[in-house]
């Protein structure tokens, strides 16, 4: 209250009596109203937050700083930016949730990371805020692992807001706290991994501009923790998203940058994943030879892996995951038989969303191969698998299948499928 009055006084404005102001604040807190054009700017200044972070987008334009998709200049900038992104996301800032990804940001991020100087930390990390220890870092890691399990089982739309709330309220104060260099490195690496998860979940929810911004902040945090392997994995995630969005040249470049940037410390599994991402991008361009060469390199790398020497967060990438990537590739180069064979080998039984994607790729391959009856049967299997998933990406796979199915006309096979599919939530979302 007193700070609000001081801010108003600096602008030559007078507030009503305390009782009146308290009543207004109570209505804001209860959600019965929002600050108007008079109180909104005063609150922003008093609290040191933007209108977007306070959810006051009913009378403000786009916040250009929040919507900026450039690579952070410093660790301080990354901490400040990701904190503001988390808060604006929590408050449902629509321009951010609907933002488009920036093509320039993909190129800038990979180049800036490749030529980055030695890792650094905020200069004031030893004399401000909450004292942070390795126990705090371990707590972030354990909590994020639980959220990752929920994402894998139920999709990114399920617990995304809970993840963002945890990062904003629990992790942000630690990033701005007091820590030694050793603790800081561990903290930044773990925060980067958690922010990468937020990016994946936002991508799965098809908030693509927001996901890209989370990936950018995660990459900067990984850079400053000197975690080259994690940074490469973040570039791989950006490549995955770029392929999904049809930006195949950017996707291939990001995968190659990941390979180049961690060549000195790359593990076999990481190399396999990066080659697989390059193959996915090349397949979409129709470069079958380049795609098959990248897949061969991925297979060769994975065969030499030793799980004990791999980062814990990449161990999920196994033969089934590589088979799923290969299935996507052969579907996209219109090799139905190979796509079906790889998709069948991709079924893990333990990763619901991945199994859904592999099953839909198999359905697509049967459709491209001229067997609509089998395609529809397999698609119904996918719908059963995905009944518990809240994933806009899953809906996108189904929408593409539906579009291809519509080209067959109203045959009895298609009509029977549509009648059975009509009871499934994900199918209804494609309409």
57 in a domain, yes or no? no
206: which DSSP letter? T
48 in a domain, yes or no? no
* Per-residue pLDDT tens over the stretch 254-279: 999 999 999 999 999 999 999 999 99
Shortest CA distance to 242 belongs to which of 233, 232, 252?
A: 252
Task: Determine the structural domain holding residue 174 and report its residue range.
Answer: 72-226
DSSP secondary structure letters along 112-127: HHHT--S----TTTTS
> At 57, is the pLDDT very low, low, confident or very high (cuts 50, 70, 90)?
low
237 in a domain, yes or no? no
pLDDT for residue 38: 62
Measured at the CA of 301, the angle between CA 337 and CA 249, to 5 degrees, comes to: 70
5 in a domain, yes or no? no
Q: Which of 269, 286, 317 is the endpoint of a domain?
A: 317
Q: Are residue 97 and residue 203 in the same domain, yes or no?
A: yes
- pLDDT surpassing 90 at residue 33: no
Q: How far apart are CA 311 and CA 10, in angstroms?
A: 53
pLDDT for residue 340: 96
* Per-residue pLDDT tens over the stretch 229-259: 999 999 999 999 999 999 999 999 999 999 9
pLDDT for residue 61: 42
- pLDDT surpassing 60 at residue 394: yes
- CA dist 418 → 298, 405, 410 (Å): 38, 10, 10
Q: Are residue 248 and residue 169 in the same domain, yes or no?
A: no
Q: Are residue 77 and residue 219 in the same domain, yes or no?
A: yes
72: which DSSP letter? P
Q: Which of 3-12, 89-98, 248-257, 308-317 has the lowest mean pLDDT?
A: 3-12
Q: Are residue 213 and residue 129 in the same domain, yes or no?
A: yes
Q: Are residue 81 and residue 208 in the same domain, yes or no?
A: yes
Q: Are residue 221 and residue 77 in the same domain, yes or no?
A: yes
Q: Which of 173, 198, 226 is the endpoint of a domain?
A: 226
CA atoms within 13 A on the CB side of 151: 24
28 in a domain, yes or no? no
Burial of 293 per CB tally in 10 Å (0-12, 13-18, 19+) = middle
- pLDDT surpassing 50 at residue 227: yes
* Per-residue pLDDT tens over the stretch 126-181: 566 789 999 999 999 999 999 999 999 999 999 999 999 999 999 999 998 999 98
Would you mind telling me the total number of residues written for the chain in this entry? 431
209 in a domain, yes or no? yes
State if pTM tops 0.75.
yes
Q: Are residue 92 and residue 216 in the same domain, yes or no?
A: yes
> At 307, is the pLDDT very low, low, confident or very high (cuts 50, 70, 90)?
confident
> At 116, is the pLDDT very low, low, confident or very high (cuts 50, 70, 90)?
confident
119 in a domain, yes or no? yes
Q: How far apart are CA 103 and CA 188, in angstroms?
A: 26
Q: Which two tokens stand for residue 79?
A: 């901490």
Q: How far apart are CA 201 and CA 198, in angstroms?
A: 5
366: region left, alpha or beta (phi > 0 left; psi from -120 to 50 alpha): alpha
CA atoms within 13 A on the CB side of 213: 26
> At 28, is the pLDDT very low, low, confident or very high (cuts 50, 70, 90)?
low
Q: Are residue 83 and residue 221 in the same domain, yes or no?
A: yes
Per the structure, how many domains does the chain have?
3
Backbone angles phi, psi at 351, to 5 degrees: -120, 100
Q: Which of 226, 251, 266 is the endpoint of a domain?
A: 226
- pLDDT surpassing 70 at residue 322: yes
Q: Are residue 358 and residue 410 in the same domain, yes or no?
A: yes
pLDDT for residue 24: 67
Q: How far apart are CA 404 and CA 345, in angstroms?
A: 24
- pLDDT surpassing 50 at residue 60: no
Average pLDDT, the chain: 89
Q: Are residue 218 and residue 250 in the same domain, yes or no?
A: no
DSSP secondary structure letters along 290-306: HHHHHHHHHHHHHHT--
Q: Are residue 99 and residue 187 in the same domain, yes or no?
A: yes
Q: Are residue 180 and residue 101 in the same domain, yes or no?
A: yes
What is the CB neighbour count within 10 angstroms for residue 322?
24
Q: How far apart are CA 402 and CA 380, in angstroms?
A: 12
- pLDDT surpassing 60 at residue 34: no
């Amino acid at each position: 209250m007193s700070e609000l009055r001081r801010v108003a006084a600096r602008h030559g404005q007078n507030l009503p009596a305390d009782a009146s102001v308290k009543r207004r604040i109570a209505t804001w807190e209860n959600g019965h109203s929002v600050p108007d054009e008079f109180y909104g700017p005063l609150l922003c200044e008093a609290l040191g937050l933007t209108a977007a972070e306070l959810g006051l987008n009913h009378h403000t334009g786009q916040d250009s700083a929040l919507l900026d998709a450039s690579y952070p200049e410093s660790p301080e900038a990354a901490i400040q930016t990701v904190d503001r992104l988390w808060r604006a996301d929590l408050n449902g800032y629509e321009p951010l949730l609907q933002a488009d990804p920036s093509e320039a940001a993909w190129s800038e991020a990979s180049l800036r990371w490749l030529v980055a100087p030695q890792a650094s930390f905020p200069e004031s990390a030893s004399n401000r805020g909450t004292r942070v220890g390795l126990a705090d870092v371990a707590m972030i890691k354990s909590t994020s692992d639980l959220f990752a399990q929920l994402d894998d089982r139920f999709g990114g739309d399920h617990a995304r807001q809970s993840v963002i709330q945890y990062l904003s309220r629990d992790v942000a104060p630690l990033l701005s706290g007091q820590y030694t260099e050793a603790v800081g490195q561990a903290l930044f690496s773990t925060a980067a991994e958690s922010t990468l998860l937020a990016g994946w979940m936002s991508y799965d929810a098809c908030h693509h501009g927001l996901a890209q911004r989370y990936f950018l902040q995660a990459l900067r945090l990984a850079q400053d923790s000197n975690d080259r392997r994690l940074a490469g994995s973040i570039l791989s995630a950006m490549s995955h998203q770029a392929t999904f969005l049809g930006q195949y040249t950017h996707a291939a470049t990001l995968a190659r940058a990941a390979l180049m940037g961690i060549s000195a410390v790359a593990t076999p599994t990481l190399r396999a994943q990066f080659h697989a991402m390059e193959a996915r991008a090349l397949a979409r361009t129709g470069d079958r030879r380049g795609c098959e060469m990248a897949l061969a390199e991925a297979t060769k790398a994975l065969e030499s892996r030793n799980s004990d020497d791999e980062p814990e967060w990449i161990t999920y990438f196994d033969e089934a995951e590589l088979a799923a990537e290969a299935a996507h590739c052969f579907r996209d180069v219109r090799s139905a038989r190979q796509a079906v064979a790889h998709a069948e080998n991709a079924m893990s039984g333990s990763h619901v969303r991945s199994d859904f994607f592999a099953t839909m790729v198999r359905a697509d391959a049967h459709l491209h191969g001229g067997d609509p009856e089998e395609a529809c049967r397999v698609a119904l299997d996918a719908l059963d698998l995905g009944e518990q998933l809240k994933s806009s990406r899953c809906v996108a796979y189904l929408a593409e299948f539906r579009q291809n199915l519509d080209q067959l006309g109203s045959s009895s096979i298609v009509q029977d499928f549509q009648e059975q599919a009509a009871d499934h939530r994900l199918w209804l979302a494609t309409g």
